[in-house]
Structure 1
Amino acid sequence: MAAMTGPPGSTISGATRLKLSTMMFLQFFVWGAWFVTMGTFLGEELEASGSQISLAYLTQSLGAIAAPFFIGLIADQFFSAQKVLGILHLAGAALLFLASTMSTFGAFFPVILVYMILYMPTLALVNSVSFRQMASPEKQFPAVRVLGTIGWIVAGVIIGWLAWEQEAQLSQTYRMAAVASLILGVFSFFLPATPPTHRGEKTSIRDILGLEAIGLLKNRSYLVFFLSSIAICIPLAFYYNFTNLFLNEEGVKSAAAVQSLGQVSEVLFLLLMPFLLMRIGVKLTLAVGMAAWAIRYVFFAFGDAGSLFWMLLVGIVLHGICYDFFFVAGQIYTDKFAGERFRSAAQGLITLATYGVGILIGSLAAGPIVDNFATDDGHDWTQIWIIPAVIAGVVMILFLILFKDRRVDHVTMLDAASTTLEAPGIAVPREQRPRSGTP
């Protein structure tokens, strides 16, 4: 079928599709190359405490909070998205290489903090560059975005193949990410032109943070969902911050590669989610996602690298249900609940609450808990994992009792599922504006 490039409304060409897919692959390869194993790197090579590891991971939350300001006040107003993307990744490459040379947590932390403040806005920028080239993002974007998930998986497989975890060479992950970031930084200047969409417009802090949607919280059920989204991010922080360190202490070989099964399951379970929404509705779909969090941590608590290794594998594969059935389904619910007027603002608000406030609280809580169960030869992981399992279970029970919204029926939820786009840690509606959408 013939294709051509051009403004929105035209058909995306094969060359443009290849550029966007390459951009997505590198974008998430860069992140996956170091983020998964940072806890092990800090704990084993920099001798950081659990609290310090959590402090390093909460830079993601600080970056998520800063990202809407960056996009709304800079990229939307003054400069083309692909140029801002290139500059941020070039600066990020230098910071990642600098991080690889640090030998103490005190020196490492400010570098990774600045890096995450620069990196998190690029997640919105790659979406913006992609959407502006597509006539039908809901149909064309998934095939491009899936390369990002593949990039994350490939990064984990490379780390496992080169045995950097077993040989205490995780500083190499930052150098690998730096090279990929450098390549993406240069490549970004050859991406399709994406000029600012709101040049000359006045943008308020209320617009940037999506606070115009705050009135949605007057509805009791949506308030329950909103607070549950924040609360479930507390156990989520345990997974992000400490799973790789846990697997390595348990003696799992190529732990980063094994963890990539979680991203594979994201793709597979995403295909099942629309059918689940149609059959059981949003309330039970969200509850299934929460239940999966509790179950996975129970499996982590009692599994091991020996005869019970299957429990660890199931816990990792459950990531697809944990993420897709709660976070993606939640974004779909928000999309339909908010309606046309507040759709983008509501997505920005829920993202700020979860990846900003929720994971921030979770990271601050997880570190001291892990430190409390430190032992002479590692940690008492059984006691550690039981805590987020209980938290997730309590959140699920309260949600089932208090959430009673029946206004969004199965048919409209299924329709929303067909127009909502997924990314690891991020779900993006097709109408999303970069300044008020997810980072």
Structure 2
Amino acid sequence: MNLKLRLTILSFLQFFVWGAWLITIGVYWFSTKQWGGSEFGAVFSTLGISSIIMPALTGIIADRWMNAERLYGILHILYGITLFFLPQVSDPNQFFWVMLIAMFFYMPTISLSNSIAYYVLKNNDYDVVKVFPPIRVWGTIGFIVAMWITNLTDNKDSGNQFYIAALFAILLGIYAFTLPKCPPQNTIPKNATTLEKLGLNALSLFGNGKMAMFFLFSMFLGAALQLTNMYGDAFLSDFGKMPQYADSLVVKRSTLIMSISQVSETLFILAIPFFLKKFGIKKVMLISMFAWVLRFGFFAYGDPEGFGLILIILSCIVYGMAFDFFNISGSLFVETNTDFKIRSSAQGLFMMMTNGFGAMIGSLVSGWVIQNNFTLPNGDKMWHEIWLYFAAYALIIAVLFAIFFKHKHDPKEVVNVNH
């Protein structure tokens, strides 16, 4: 089978097994289980907690001791098995612990999938910056397909969403063992430092001012990403409490509306090579940050009819730019600015800062703020104020990034990824 096709299947399934529940878990949590907002923030923080620990750890293992594709396959099988237990849980505290175990297995596979794709492509003389985005776009398509399946089968408020993800996760794990071998690249030299002996070489990147600043702002943007994942579908579904909107498409098919965000992703992913080579990582990430401001701002004034519906759709469209110009471009930036011996570990660090510390901060702080400041006595959320609060956060981060991140763009740097 063609190598690019094999990596495309990998990318599709990687995000299919996440998209089946990530956007709709809020509906399941608040509508079906009727559990609290603070507890929901804690459950979503499992993405962050696991990303702090696991991506860097598995990156070290893949760099030093085990083939990346084998480790990837094992993790997905364990993730699938754990998901099968989630619909059986009847207590929010127990749900937290089962989800934490599931995320310990799943979150490191995101950076590992990137490392596998980069290794296979470079090992076969492909231009990574040019070839990887069209492959990665199928991950977004997989996420969309999973969302649509969950919604169209009327499972957005059902535990079946976890069964769907579990089945395909196990299939993906088995498929991973058929991929080209991705052996460890980092051997231990005789005069190795303590960090090298422990496989923690990538931590030296924090000693580089530019990379340290990049990772810091990646953490802040990672927090913004979790906000929309946590509350987007629940926000749209809440319009159903208003009689004039109860039968609207936005309420009945909220997940399909949210999937416009992922459709937008597929278009902006393909634009990344041009934008990176033309403008460089600083301007591309600034565009992403201002796109987050628009994402939240449009939601603040959106509703299911007329101009309000246009704003909701625009919010979903601009999400593609907000996500891709940060997440995918950031991954490529790490790839082009680190030594090949520590690239799996470096990708793990990027994952740790974005989906780790960033996600945990975004989940816990937003859960507390919303519960204590933007929740009415009857439990309803003050969505207009919530989205404006998030928009202000994104704007502050954008201004600070423009001031403090120092990077002079060199188009050759983006192309030279095979050293």
Post-superposition offset of 1:366: 0.6
Distance in 1 (CA, whole Å) between partners of 2:171 and 2:340 is 39
1:244 aligns with 2:233: yes
**2:136 aligns to what?**
145
Post-superposition offset of 1:385: 0.9
Where 2:303 maps in the other structure, the secondary structure is coil
Q: Is the 8 A contact 2:205 2:212 kept in 1?
A: no
Where 2:21 maps in the other structure, the secondary structure is helix
**2:83 aligns to what?**
96
For residues 390-426 of structure 1, what are the alpha-carbon distances to aligned partners after superposition, in whole Å with 9 as ceiling and x for unaligned? 11111222333444x36334x34xx51x56xxxxxxx
For residues 45-104 of structure 1, what are the alpha-carbon distances to aligned partners after superposition, in whole Å with 9 as ceiling and x for unaligned? 222222211211121122222224542454444444333333322222221111122222
Distance in 2 (CA, whole Å) between partners of 1:175 and 1:384 is 32
* 1:216 equivalent among 208, 211, 229: 208
Q: Is the 8 A contact 1:72 1:208 kept in 2?
A: no
**2:21 aligns to what?**
34
1:173 aligns with 2:161: yes
**2:246 aligns to what?**
none
In 2 relative to 1, CA 276–181 (structure 1 residues): closer, same or farther, beyond 3 Å? Answer: closer
Distance in 1 (CA, whole Å) between partners of 2:263 and 2:27 is 22
**1:302 aligns to what?**
301
**2:321 aligns to what?**
321
Distance in 1 (CA, whole Å) between partners of 2:229 and 2:102 is 18
1:383 aligns with 2:378: no
Work out the percentage of aligned pairs sharing the same amino acid.
32
Post-superposition offset of 1:114: 0.4
Distance in 2 (CA, whole Å) between partners of 1:99 and 1:248 is 22
Q: How does 1:148-167 map to 2 (within 5 A)?
A: 148-165=139-156
**2:292 aligns to what?**
293
Where 1:379 maps in the other structure, the secondary structure is coil
The one-letter code of the counterpart of 2:311 is: M
Q: Is the 8 A contact 1:67 1:117 kept in 2?
A: yes
In 2 relative to 1, CA 44–190 (structure 1 residues): closer, same or farther, beyond 3 Å? Answer: same
Structure 1 window deviating more from structure 2 (273-282 vs 26-35): it is: 273-282
**1:55 aligns to what?**
42
**1:254 aligns to what?**
253
| Structure in which a larger fraction of residues adopt helix | 2
For residues 148-173 of structure 1, what are the alpha-carbon distances to aligned partners after superposition, in whole Å with 9 as ceiling and x for unaligned? 222111101112211223xx32x110
For residues 127-161 of structure 1, what are the alpha-carbon distances to aligned partners after superposition, in whole Å with 9 as ceiling and x for unaligned? 44444443134155444433322211110111221
**2:243 aligns to what?**
none
**2:265 aligns to what?**
266
Q: Is the 8 A contact 1:234 1:359 kept in 2?
A: yes
Post-superposition offset of 1:200: 7.5
Distance in 1 (CA, whole Å) between partners of 2:316 and 2:78 is 33
**1:396 aligns to what?**
398
Post-superposition offset of 1:358: 1.8
RMSD of aligned residue pairs (Cα, Å):
3.0
In 2 relative to 1, CA 380–272 (structure 1 residues): closer, same or farther, beyond 3 Å? Answer: same
Post-superposition offset of 1:330: 4.2
Q: Is the 8 A contact 2:286 2:398 kept in 1?
A: yes
Structure 1 window deviating more from structure 2 (205-214 vs 45-54): it is: 205-214
Distance in 2 (CA, whole Å) between partners of 1:384 and 1:205 is 47
**1:23 aligns to what?**
10
User: What's the TM-score, normalizing by structure 1?
Assistant: 0.80
In 2 relative to 1, CA 297–47 (structure 1 residues): closer, same or farther, beyond 3 Å? Answer: same
Distance in 1 (CA, whole Å) between partners of 2:166 and 2:187 is 32
User: What's the TM-score, normalizing by structure 2?
Assistant: 0.83
In 2 relative to 1, CA 174–294 (structure 1 residues): closer, same or farther, beyond 3 Å? Answer: same
Where 1:378 maps in the other structure, the secondary structure is coil
The one-letter code of the counterpart of 1:177 is: A
Any unmatched runs of 5+ in structure 2?
241-249
In 2 relative to 1, CA 174–430 (structure 1 residues): closer, same or farther, beyond 3 Å? Answer: farther
In 2 relative to 1, CA 70–333 (structure 1 residues): closer, same or farther, beyond 3 Å? Answer: closer
Q: Is the 8 A contact 1:158 1:257 kept in 2?
A: no
Distance in 2 (CA, whole Å) between partners of 1:61 and 1:407 is 31
Distance in 1 (CA, whole Å) between partners of 2:418 and 2:119 is 11
Q: Is the 8 A contact 2:55 2:349 kept in 1?
A: no
Q: How many residues were matched structurally?
A: 397
In 2 relative to 1, CA 325–45 (structure 1 residues): closer, same or farther, beyond 3 Å? Answer: same
**1:424 aligns to what?**
none
**1:407 aligns to what?**
408
In 2 relative to 1, CA 18–296 (structure 1 residues): closer, same or farther, beyond 3 Å? Answer: closer
In 2 relative to 1, CA 58–385 (structure 1 residues): closer, same or farther, beyond 3 Å? Answer: same
**1:65 aligns to what?**
52
Distance in 2 (CA, whole Å) between partners of 1:143 and 1:17 is 9
The one-letter code of the counterpart of 1:264 is: V
**2:361 aligns to what?**
361
Distance in 1 (CA, whole Å) between partners of 2:221 and 2:117 is 30
Distance in 2 (CA, whole Å) between partners of 1:187 and 1:342 is 26
Q: Is the 8 A contact 2:38 2:368 kept in 1?
A: yes
Q: Is the 8 A contact 1:230 1:358 kept in 2?
A: yes
Distance in 2 (CA, whole Å) between partners of 1:96 and 1:195 is 29
In 2 relative to 1, CA 402–299 (structure 1 residues): closer, same or farther, beyond 3 Å? Answer: same
Q: Is the 8 A contact 1:159 1:254 kept in 2?
A: no
**2:178 aligns to what?**
190
Distance in 1 (CA, whole Å) between partners of 2:220 and 2:329 is 16
